[in-house]
């Protein structure tokens, strides 16, 4: 009996060793994919920004000239801050609009909340480009809004409201429409996972609905709010498709400048790489800064 027990003892070690070896094997493929298709392209773009690589013929060497020109150029930095302000405005407005919607879906107790949630995300079933083009038709000089104003006599057909399209307002409106369902989802998840007993306890202690919302619901849903805000702010900051279609000159954003530097008839890949790496660095810093707010435990204790 003792020999049989001694012979069975090494089995857990082998099993533990097999698990330890399987973890790197499982992570190897996704990490390799991330390295080849994300880290390596970033390194190549960074090399272009330092003139290590160049599309221009002739000798080239490491230099910081493009970075110096970018940091001392009022044009690029002014355009970047313009995009930041637009992204902040779009993110704040969309979160404010999406929170009541997610609150109703999560805490109203309706049996059809998942049907309503499906209707909320239904726009994702259509093409992003198609939705932007639809807004271009709506906001045009002969679009739905101006046609309604002509029909009601509030506006002359010779003087349409031309500020609706090809403006900063059009860019922010279309981006807000596009991101609204995307923002409501993380807020809905944070509210859906809320322990209802906390609200009952607040009511038993004499708190009103507004006090329970301010002291219980809102703090516990902050991770979803911060996640939703970040999910909108980051892609909006580098957006270039929507401004190209409905923005015009006044809706020109930082992402459009990067695209133009890489894709125009006289490309400047060195400056374009600087702008791209700078944007990536800002996004990385914001992600790290917001990461602590995405943890429910820390928000609840604070």
**Six-digit token string for 122:** 């239904």
For 155-179, what is each residue's pLDDT tens digit? 888 888 888 889 999 999 999 999 9
pLDDT above 70: percentage of residues in the chain: 89
φ, ψ for residue 110, nearest 5 deg: -70, 145
Q: Residue 161: exposed, middle, or buried by beta-carbon count in 10 A (0-12, 13-18, 19+)?
A: middle
> Is the pLDDT score of 302 beyond 50?
no
Polymer length in residues for the chain: 302
**Six-digit token string for 38:** 């994300």
**Six-digit token string for 68:** 């110096």
Domains and CATH numbers, the chain: 74-301 (1.10.3720.10)
For residue 90, the model assigns a pLDDT of 96
Contact 185, 256 (CB under 8 A): no
For 107-159, what is each residue's pLDDT tens digit? 877 778 788 888 888 888 888 899 999 999 899 888 889 999 899 988 888 88
As a whole number of angstroms, the distance between CA 209 and CA 105 comes to 17
Q: How confident is the model at residue 17 (pLDDT cuts 50, 70, 90)?
A: very low
Residues 6+ apart with CB under 8 A from 217: 103, 107, 191, 194, 199
As a whole number of angstroms, the distance between CA 92 and CA 100 comes to 13
φ, ψ for residue 15, nearest 5 deg: -65, -40
Evaluated on CA atoms 189, 191, 197, 198, the torsion sign reads: positive
For residue 195, the model assigns a pLDDT of 84
Q: How confident is the model at residue 229 (pLDDT cuts 50, 70, 90)?
A: very high
Residue with tokens 């739905």: 144
pTM for the predicted model, two decimal places: 0.83
Residue 7 CB neighbours (<10 A): 9
> Is the pLDDT score of 271 beyond 50?
yes
């Amino acid at each position: 009996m003792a020999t049989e027990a001694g012979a069975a003892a090494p089995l857990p070690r082998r099993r533990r060793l097999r698990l330890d070896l399987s973890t790197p094997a499982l992570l190897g493929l996704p990490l390799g994919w991330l390295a080849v298709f994300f880290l390596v392209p970033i390194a190549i773009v960074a090399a272009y920004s330092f003139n290590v690589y160049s599309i221009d013929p002739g000798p080239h060497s490491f230099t910081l000239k493009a970075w110096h020109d970018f940091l001392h150029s009022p044009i690029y930095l002014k355009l970047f801050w313009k995009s930041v302000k637009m992204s902040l405005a779009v993110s704040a407005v969309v979160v404010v609009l999406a929170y009541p919607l997610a609150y109703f879906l999560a805490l109203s107790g309706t049996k059809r909340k998942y049907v309503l949630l499906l209707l909320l995300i239904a726009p994702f079933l259509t093409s992003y480009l198609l939705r932007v083009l639809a807004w271009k038709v709506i906001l045009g000089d002969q679009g739905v809004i101006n046609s309604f104003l002509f029909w009601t006599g509030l506006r002359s057909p010779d003087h349409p409201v031309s500020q609706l399209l090809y403006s900063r307002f059009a860019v922010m409106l279309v981006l807000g429409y596009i991101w609204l369902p995307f923002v409501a989802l993380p807020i809905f998840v944070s509210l859906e996972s809320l322990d209802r007993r906390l609200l009952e306890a607040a009511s038993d202690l004499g708190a009103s609905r507004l006090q329970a919302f301010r002291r219980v619901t809102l703090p516990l849903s902050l991770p979803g709010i911060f996640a939703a805000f970040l999910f909108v702010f980051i892609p909006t900051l580098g957006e270039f498709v929507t401004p190209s279609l409905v923005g015009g000159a006044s809706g020109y954003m930082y992402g459009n400048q990067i695209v133009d530097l890489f894709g125009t008839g006289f490309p400047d890949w060195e400056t374009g790489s600087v702008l791209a790496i700078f944007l990536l660095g800002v996004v990385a810093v914001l992600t790290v800064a917001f990461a602590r707010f995405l943890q429910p435990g820390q928000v609840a204790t604070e």
